[in-house]
Amino acid sequence: MRPVLFSLRAALALLLNLLAPPASAEDLAALARSSGTPEIPGLRIVWLARWGDPHLAHPWTNIIVHQTEGPAGSARAGALAQAKNPKRRGVTIWVETDGTVYWAVPETLVTLHGDGANRNDNRYVDNASTYRKVVRDNSIGVEFAGNYPDVTTPPTEAQLAAWRVLSKLLRLRYNIPRERIYAHNWIDYKDARYCEGCALARLARAAPD
C-alpha cells in the first residue's frame, strides 16, 4: 500500500502547487530577504533548519544542481540524515518527486558536495572555467531525488514547478547571477548514461525574472 499512498500524496502536492498563485517578483524578493521559516507561494518547504539573517549566511556565489539515484521518497530520508549529520556527503536542499523541498541544514554550513571541479581537470568534460573555482566552499547544493532504477528518468512536473520558484528564490537571497547555476555534469563527469542536473540547470538559467 505504501507506493499507492505516496502516489496519492504526490498528486495532491502537485495539485496544490499548481493551484497556488505565484508570488510577484517584489513579494518573492521580500521573502528572499526574510528569516525564520517563511511560507513561499508555489513551494512546500519542510524546514529542518531555519533561515537566519541573510547578511550572515555563508557567501554563496554558485548553485550546483544534483540528481540522486534514489527512489521516490528518498529526498526526505536524505534530508533527515543530512540534518542529523551535516558532515555526511550531501547538500543543503533536497527536492522530492512530489515537489516538496527539504531545507536540511543551516545556510551558514558548507556541505560536502562540490568537490567535482577539483577532480579530473578536463579529463571527461571541459571544466577549465570551473576547475577549483566552483567548489563546495562557494556553492550551495540542491539534490533532486527519484531517478531510480532508470537514471535517465527526467525530473517530475512537480519538481520542475518547485525548481522554477526555488531557483529564483536562491538567486535573490544570495545574489547569484543565473549564469552561476551549474549542473553537476558541467563541472565534473559522473555517468555516461545521463547528464546529471543539466536539464534543471538550463531551465533555471533560462527562467524569466
Provide mean pLDDT across the span 126-143: 91
Give the model confidence (pLDDT) of 76-102 as tens digits. Answer: 999 999 999 999 999 999 999 999 999
Percent of the chain having pLDDT more than 90?
66
Write phi, then psi, for 101 (nearest 5 degrees). -105, 130
Give the model confidence (pLDDT) of 29-86 as tens digits. Answer: 999 999 999 999 999 999 999 999 999 999 999 999 999 888 999 999 999 999 999 9
Q: Which three cell numbers stand for residue 194?
A: 545521463
Whether the Cβ atoms of residue 117 and residue 133 lie closer than 8 Å to each other: yes
Q: What is the pTM of this model?
A: 0.88
Provide mean pLDDT across the span 8-34: 71
Domains of the chain plus CATH, in order, are: 2-206 (3.40.80.10)
How far are the Cα atoms of 34, 36, 156 from residue 21, in angstroms, in the given order? 20, 22, 20
